[in-house]
C-alpha cells in the first residue's frame, strides 16, 4: 500500500489542530481497533484509511530499552506471550503473535516498535497521539523523544501521559514544538494550572469526567488548551462532545464517526 495515496479529508489538520474544522478531530484509538487488533500496524493503517486525523498508540519499553507499541504492562490479553512487556527484549516481543486473539485473519500481526509507527506517520496524512505509560524512566522517555526528533516529526506528534514525571521529563528533553498532553480520568482541582505547570498544550479528560462537568470544556478552551476526549464510540456521546466544541474525539470507530460528521449531527 502506498500510504501517501490515502485520501483523508482532514489532512491539513494533522500539524495544527487549531485549524479550521467543522467538528472535533477524529483520533483512532489504538488504531482502527474495532476492525483490526489494537496497536498493530494493521490497525494503524486501517485508521489512516478510515480518515482519522490522528492515530493514538500506547508505548512501553522493552527489556533492552526499545520503545514498543502495546497497551498493557503484561502480554496475555493481546499476544500469545506471557509475563511483563518490560521483561522481554524487543526481538522477543517482535516474535509474538499480536493478532490471533482478535480474529484469524490477523494471525501473525506483530507488536510494533515505535520506530515502525513513526515511519508510517512520516508517510501518512495523519498525526500521532502518543501515550507514554506511567513510571517510564527518564532515559527511556529520552529514547522515545529521540525517535520523534530523528524523524523530524515533532510538529506532528502530541505526547500524552497520566504521569506528571513523564511529562516533566519530556518537556525538559524535547523541542518546544513537541506538544504535550495531560491525560486524566477525573479532573484535577485546577486542571488549567496543572497542565500549564507541566508545559502541556492539551488536557485530555475521559468522556465520563467531561460530561459530568461539561463547563470544563469551556474553561480549558478559554485557557488555550486543546481538549482531546477519550474514548467515545456512540452517536449520543459524539453529539454531546460536538456541542461542547472539544478539539478531538478519541474513538474505536473512526470511520463511523467520520460518516456521522459528514451527515451532520442531526443526521441530515
**How many Å apart are CA 189 and CA 195, to the nearest integer?**
11
Give the 3-state secondary structure of residue 202: strand
Mean pLDDT over all residues of the chain?
92
d(CA 184, CA 212) in angstroms, rounded, equals 14
The pLDDT tens digits for 103-135 are 999 999 999 999 999 999 999 999 999 999 999
Rounded to a whole number of angstroms, the distance between the first and last alpha carbons of the chain is: 34
pLDDT above 90 as % of the chain: 89
Domain boundaries, the chain: 3-57+124-263
> Would the pLDDT of 11 be above 60?
no
Instruction: Give the burial string for 127-165 (b: 16+ CB within 10 Å, else e).
Output: bbbbbbbeebeeebbbbbbebbbeeebbebbbbbbbbee
**The architecture CATH gives domain 3-57+124-263:** Alpha-Beta Barrel (3.20)
**How far apart are the C-alpha atoms of 47 and 32, rounded to whole Å?**
4
Residue 263 has pLDDT above 80, yes or no: yes
CB 90 within 8 A of CB 105: no
What is the predicted pLDDT for the residue at 265? Answer: 63
Select the more confidently predicted residue: 179 or 16. Answer: 179
User: Model confidence at 22, in pLDDT bands (50, 70, 90)?
Assistant: low
Q: Is the pLDDT of residue 186 over 60?
A: yes
State pLDDT tens for residues 58-108: 999 999 999 999 999 999 999 999 999 999 999 999 999 999 999 999 999
Amino acid at each position: 500500500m502506498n500510504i501517501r495515496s490515502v485520501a483523508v479529508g482532514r489532512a491539513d489538520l494533522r500539524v495544527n489542530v487549531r485549524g479550521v474544522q467543522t467538528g472535533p478531530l477524529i483520533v483512532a484509538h489504538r488504531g482502527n481497533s474495532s476492525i483490526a487488533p489494537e496497536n498493530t500496524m494493521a490497525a494503524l493503517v486501517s485508521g489512516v484509511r478510515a480518515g482519522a486525523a490522528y492515530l493514538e498508540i500506547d508505548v512501553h519499553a522493552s527489556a533492552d530499552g526499545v520503545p514498543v507499541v502495546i497497551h498493557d504492562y503484561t502480554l496475555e490479553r493481546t499476544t500469545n506471550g506471557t509475563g511483563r512487556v518490560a521483561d522481554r527484549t524487543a526481538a522477543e516481543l517482535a516474535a509474538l503473535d499480536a493478532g490471533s486473539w482478535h480474529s484469524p485473519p490477523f494471525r501473525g500481526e506483530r507488536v510494533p516498535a515505535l520506530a515502525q509507527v513513526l515511519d508510517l506517520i512520516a508517510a501518512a496524512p495523519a498525526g500521532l497521539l502518543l501515550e507514554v505509560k506511567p513510571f517510564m524512566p527518564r532515559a527511556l522517555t529520552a529514547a522515545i523523544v529521540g525517535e520523534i526528533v530523528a524523524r523530524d516529526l515533532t510538529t506532528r506528534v502530541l505526547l500524552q501521559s497520566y504521569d506528571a514525571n513523564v511529562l516533566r521529563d519530556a518537556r525538559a528533553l524535547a523541542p518546544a514544538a513537541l506538544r504535550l498532553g495531560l491525560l486524566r480520568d477525573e479532573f484535577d482541582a485546577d486542571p488549567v494550572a496543572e497542565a500549564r505547570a507541566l508545559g502541556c498544550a492539551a488536557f485530555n479528560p475521559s468522556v465520563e469526567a467531561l460530561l459530568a462537568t461539561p463547563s470544563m470544556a469551556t474553561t480549558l478552551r478559554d485557557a488555550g488548551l486543546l481538549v482531546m476526549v477519550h474514548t467515545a464510540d456512540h452517536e449520543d456521546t459524539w453529539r454531546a462532545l460536538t456541542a461542547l466544541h472539544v478539539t478531538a474525539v478519541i474513538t474505536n470507530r473512526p470511520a463511523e464517526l467520520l460518516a456521522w460528521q459528514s451527515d451532520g449531527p442531526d443526521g441530515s
